[in-house]
């Protein structure tokens, strides 16, 4: 199984911190966000390679990080060839690039590089694999997280955790469950990524792809427990840094 980490954004809302540093290499709790993610992935024996997709602007920075890292799972850094926020490929565009370049034909995880969470990925993968030929996604209840649902993708789920609907940043959310940047895709999903893009659908934001998938394949939601942060702006970064530092020192 492959792990694909999406790290090709330009994080303009975090300027000037991200003018010369990719967001995923910003420090939270004394280590880069990317280190937090890769450490979590070490707990998955099924993962045989971590694939990090970045852009031309930050490619060398990620290559340098890789050369200094000491993770047991092999890591490959891919350059999507873009150099600005204006010509970026988008999340699903980058996923398609990785699938083609690495010829992925197996199940794979897709993770957003700016999502930090406590939940061991082994719990999520165990849940996903128990659902057979289905897509799984991590979800958070905003009642627990203290967040505004309309800032995120909102998920409706059945009592059996099947996703019934998905809306990207709706004005009137139908539930208190929001999507995180944690996804599990079975091998057959590779063809669906190609189909989605071939139809001219929006290549940016995974939520658009998930909305398209609803009704085409079964999708299940796994409730993420413990801390979860989407590092989208300076406030979120500062809060995550404060909380993670507190956990390290306690």
CB 229 within 8 A of CB 116: yes
Identify the segments of the chain with pLDDT beneath 70.
144-150, 246-250
State whether residue 75 is helix, strand or coil.
strand
Res 205: pLDDT: 83
For the chain, strand residue ranges (E) read 2-6, 27-28, 31-32, 49-54, 75-79, 108-112, 115-117, 135-141, 153-157, 163-168, 177-185, 219-223, 228-230
pTM confidence score: 0.93
Q: Which domains does the chain have, with CATH numbers?
A: 2-249 (3.90.550.10)
Res 144: pLDDT: 57
């Amino acid at each position: 199984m492959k792990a694909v980490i999406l790290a090709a954004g330009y994080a303009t809302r975090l300027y000037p911190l991200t003018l010369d540093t990719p967001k995923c290499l910003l420090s939270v709790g004394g280590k880069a966000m990317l280190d937090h993610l890769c450490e979590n992935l070490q707990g998955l024996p099924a993962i045989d390679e971590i694939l990090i997709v970045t852009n031309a602007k930050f490619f060398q920075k990620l290559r340098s990080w890789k050369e200094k890292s000491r993770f047991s799972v092999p890591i490959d850094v891919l350059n999507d060839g873009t150099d600005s926020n204006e010509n970026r490929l988008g999340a699903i565009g980058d996923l398609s690039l990785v699938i083609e370049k690495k010829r992925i034909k197996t199940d794979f995880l897709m993770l957003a590089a700016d999502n930090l969470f406590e939940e061991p990925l082994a719990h999520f993968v165990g849940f996903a694999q128990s659902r057979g030929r289905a897509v799984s996604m991590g979800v958070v209840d905003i009642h627990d997280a203290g967040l505004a649902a309309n800032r995120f993708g909102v998920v409706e789920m059945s009592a059996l955790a099947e996703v019934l609907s998905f809306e990207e940043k709706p004005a009137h959310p139908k539930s208190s469950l929001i999507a995180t940047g944690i996804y599990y895709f079975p091998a057959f999903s590779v063809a669906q990524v190609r189909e989605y893009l071939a139809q001219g659908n929006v290549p940016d934001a995974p939520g658009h792809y998930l909305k398209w998938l609803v009704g085409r394949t079964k999708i299940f939601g796994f409730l993420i427990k413990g801390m979860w942060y989407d590092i989208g702006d300076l406030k979120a970064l500062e809060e995550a840094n404060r909380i993670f530092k507190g956990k390290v020192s306690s």
